[in-house]
Structure 1
Amino acid sequence: MSLENRTAVVTGAGRGIGKAIAEKLASQGATVVCVSRTAENCGAVAEGIKAAGGKARALAVDVSSASEVAEASKTLIEEFKTIDILVNNAGITRDTLLMRMSEDDWHSVLQTNLSSCFYWLKGLVQPMVRQRWGRVVNISSVSGLIGLPGQVNYSAAKAGMIGLTKAAAKELASRNITVNAVAPGFIRTDMTASLSEGDAAREIMSRIPLKRFGEAADIAAMVGFLCGDEASYITGKVFTIDGGMVM
């Protein structure tokens, strides 16, 4: 699944799933732009990729800001002429019960997790349209499919990503641009560390037929496949990687 001579933008690439995706695409030959809010985090990932023989560059962007994403998109197109692959992975949580959730909890999650996908797609899709080739992968969640208590903001954002995926797939198919979503279940990352032991872990495991958390590499493997030519006839789909949690 070679991605030689392809350029990929991966948001939320500073850690966890995003880091694994960036490393996977680089291992397949892509030049990877590692996007994160903090320069230190995305810089470390980019340097690690280069140390392993890959091609990468870091870019610090607040993905919840339309103006920052627009400026970053312009900069990247000027530098690379085209962006072939976009992986919208950036995400945050502000979990709390509905009655306790503040407007800021709601808006910050929607802006970072959902609006950012629109900003990046709008900023980078024109070169894909011109060259009649592109791959977009949005990292949603099983929370967007089934809803989870304490996550009305996160579930709404991730469900919105699925709707965006399907609509964009229909709009862009005539230009040979595929748009798909990956919906992870419980994946072992910093974000889920507090859920990996004790009563919380036991309750989660009761819902997972495979009886284990997934790994970031599991998500990266699917993204790597969807970005290659082997997946050229797949678009508008949602792939759950969740140990059988959602069937």
Structure 2
Amino acid sequence: MARVALISGGTRGIGAAVSLAFLQAGYKVVPTYVADRAAAEAFRNKTGLTPYRWNVGDFEACSEGIKEVEAAVGPVDVLVNNAGIVRDAALHKMDREKWQEVIDADLGGAFNMCRVVIEGMRARKFGRIVNVSSINGQKGQYGQTNYSAAKAGLLGFTRALALESAHMGITVNAICPGYIDTDMLEIVSDDVLTKDILSKIPVGRLGTAADIARGVLFLGSDDASFITGSTLSINGGQWMG
């Protein structure tokens, strides 16, 4: 029977590529979204997949949403925590709301989603959890104390949950994308893109969403059963720490 893969934020950008990768590999794919209904509908029309809508930063919404998914599709075997937001500002200009929104979505969302599925995975003695962190959680980034903190916290969360879960047949790993050619980079000027970003990527190009999706698909597969608590950096050599 095909495994069920739930991808949060799975209808746009990296998440959409991950959803497609799992679909093409024969999984039952459940993408979620929260804000961009038009993109979710376009993704449904393109793929035939049914997107589910809830805010990963809301524990009760996660609990109810996953109950709905499991009733309709089946227990979640693979969880990809991809959903996240940015609220950029230098710390001396950042208000508490911008801090908390990012922490709740990008770090709290992983707790909420994992907490709801982890008991079922333990009972079935199988699970794959892949947390999408960021190069900026590894090295930091100006104007992103909230985002960098959340994504760095996600790496610690990954390692701790991996230790708790390994003996139950559950692997927990993280992916750290570098700069990826998605709509999140549309606000970056060509000058900044060339001088400040591309010039620092040794392979000389931006990553693609498919580059990330291939890594996530592998870590979510049966072939990755001996990999847990690991961080896979996919950044073109920009950060090797």
TM-score range, shorter chain: over 0.9
CA distance in 1 between partners of 2:129 and 2:40 (Å) = 20
Hey, what does 1:24 align to over in structure 2? 21
CA distance in 2 between partners of 1:232 and 1:134 (Å) = 10
Hey, what does 2:133 align to over in structure 1? 140
CA distance in 2 between partners of 1:200 and 1:101 (Å) = 24
Question: Secondary structure in 1 aligned to 2:83?
Answer: coil
Deviation at 1:152?
Answer: 0.2
The 8 Å contact of residues 218 and 241 in structure 1, kept in 2 or not, is answered as: yes
The 8 Å contact of residues 166 and 180 in structure 1, kept in 2 or not, is answered as: yes
Structure 1: which 5+ residue stretches go unaligned?
Answer: 51-55
Deviation at 1:204?
Answer: 1.1
1:79 aligns with 2:72: yes
Deviation at 1:167?
Answer: 0.5
CA distance in 2 between partners of 1:183 and 1:34 (Å) = 20
Select the residue among 234, 241, 246 that pairs with 2:239. 246
Structure 2: which 5+ residue stretches go unaligned?
Answer: none
The 8 Å contact of residues 13 and 45 in structure 1, kept in 2 or not, is answered as: no
Paired AA for residue 135 in structure 2: V
Hey, what does 2:202 align to over in structure 1? 209
1:9 aligns with 2:6: yes
Q: 5 Å matches for 1:74-223?
A: 74-195=67-188, 197-223=190-216
Question: Secondary structure in 1 aligned to 2:2?
Answer: coil
Q: Percent identity?
A: 38
Paired AA for residue 79 in structure 1: A
Q: 5 Å matches for 1:24-63?
A: 24-38=21-35, 39-50=37-48, 56-63=49-56
The 8 Å contact of residues 10 and 89 in structure 1, kept in 2 or not, is answered as: yes
More displaced 10-residue stretch of structure 1: 102-111 or 203-212: 203-212
Deviation at 1:78?
Answer: 2.6
Structure 1 pair 25–238 and aligned structure 2 pair: CA distance change class (3 A)? same
- Report the TM-score when normalising by structure 2: 0.95
The total of aligned residue pairs comes to: 239
Paired AA for residue 167 in structure 2: S
Question: Secondary structure in 2 aligned to 1:172?
Answer: helix
Paired AA for residue 147 in structure 2: Y
Deviation at 1:226?
Answer: 0.9
Listed one character per residue, the Cα deviations across residues 189-217 of structure 1 (whole Å, up to 9, x for unaligned) are 11112236113431112221112110000
The 8 Å contact of residues 42 and 60 in structure 1, kept in 2 or not, is answered as: no
CA distance in 2 between partners of 1:101 and 1:201 (Å) = 27
Paired AA for residue 45 in structure 1: F
The 8 Å contact of residues 86 and 136 in structure 1, kept in 2 or not, is answered as: yes
Question: Secondary structure in 2 aligned to 1:187?
Answer: coil
Question: Secondary structure in 2 aligned to 1:57?
Answer: coil
Structure 1 pair 73–109 and aligned structure 2 pair: CA distance change class (3 A)? same
Listed one character per residue, the Cα deviations across residues 205-242 of structure 1 (whole Å, up to 9, x for unaligned) are 22211121100000001011111111111000001100
CA distance in 1 between partners of 2:203 and 2:188 (Å) = 17
